[in-house]
Chains A and B, each alone.
Chain A
Amino acid sequence: GENVEQHPSTLSVQEGDSAVIKCTYSDSASNYFPWYKQELGKRPQLIIDIRSNVGEKKDQRIAVTLNKTAKHFSLHITETQPEDSAVYFCAAGGGSNYKLTFGKGTLLTVNP
């Protein structure tokens, strides 16, 4: 089955700096790579996703890049703000069974 590795497990940045979180996956059949933000006590919220037919997608301060050859994808947050502080999860899947496998998460702290 699919295996997703996520790094780093914790990340602390100063407000205004950029943050990068990286994930690798193992199953070449995976074609869907979403990123979720989970604030304390709340459900995971989809913030951006990318499908295997594109290499990069951007939505305001958030961007995701995908390298299918190397089986890795990354989340980039620019101009970080304190409200970006949360746990971020990457996931991979969407193959024939449509299920997602999640990384272990990254606790992002943005210091004012």
Chain B
Amino acid sequence: SAVISQKPSRDICQRGTSLTIQCQVDSQVTMMFWYRQQPGQSLTLIATANQGSEATYESGFVIDKFPISRPNLTFSTLTVSNMSPEDSSIYLCSVDIQGLDGYTFGSGTRLTVV
């Protein structure tokens, strides 16, 4: 199965600052997904990151707030910009290894904004 390394695992940030989360996969994947999981809630898709093209954002999420990079087939970053306490969540990357083990999640980044 795919091994996904996500970092940082947690961070406490000041409001108004930005945090970049990294996601590294041990195999090449076409699509990488970024999810947000607010405390006690389900997983909400932020955007789909494709290599070589702009990320596709879901309703309610915009590029200025959550810029995404996808420089190659094994790596992606999500930046949470101009943070407010409402951005406190767990952020997870996910990949789809078609035909192998479905969608796999990284270990997540627990973000607290103070």
Contacts and interface: CB of A to CB of B under 8 A. Distances in A.
Interface stretch (A14-22, A61-69, A77-85, A93-101): A93-101
Interface in B47-94: 48, 56, 59, 92, 94
B107 A44 contact: no
Contact of B92 (A32, A43, A49, A98): A43
A98 B41 CA distance: 22
Q: How large is the interface on A (under 10, 10 to 19, 20 to 34, 35 or more residues)?
A: 10 to 19
B102 interface: yes
B31 A49 contact: no
Interface in A1-37: 1, 32, 34
A91 B102 CA distance: 12
Interface of chain B: mostly helix, strand, loop or mixed: strand
Contact of A46 (B44, B56, B101): B101
A99 B45 contact: yes
A102 B104 contact: no
A34 B107 CA distance: 18
Contacts of B101: 46
A1 B43 CA distance: 16
15 contacts: A32-B102, A43-B92, A43-B107, A44-B92, A46-B101, A46-B102, A46-B103, A99-B45, A99-B48, A100-B94, A102-B43, A102-B44, A104-B41, A104-B42, A105-B41
Interface of B: 31, 33, 41-45, 48, 56, 59, 92, 94, 96, 101-108
Given A43-B105, A44-B92, A102-B43, 16 more contacts: A34-B102, A34-B103, A43-B92, A43-B106, A43-B107, A46-B101, A46-B102, A46-B104, A98-B31, A98-B48, A99-B45, A100-B45, A100-B94, A102-B44, A103-B42, A105-B41
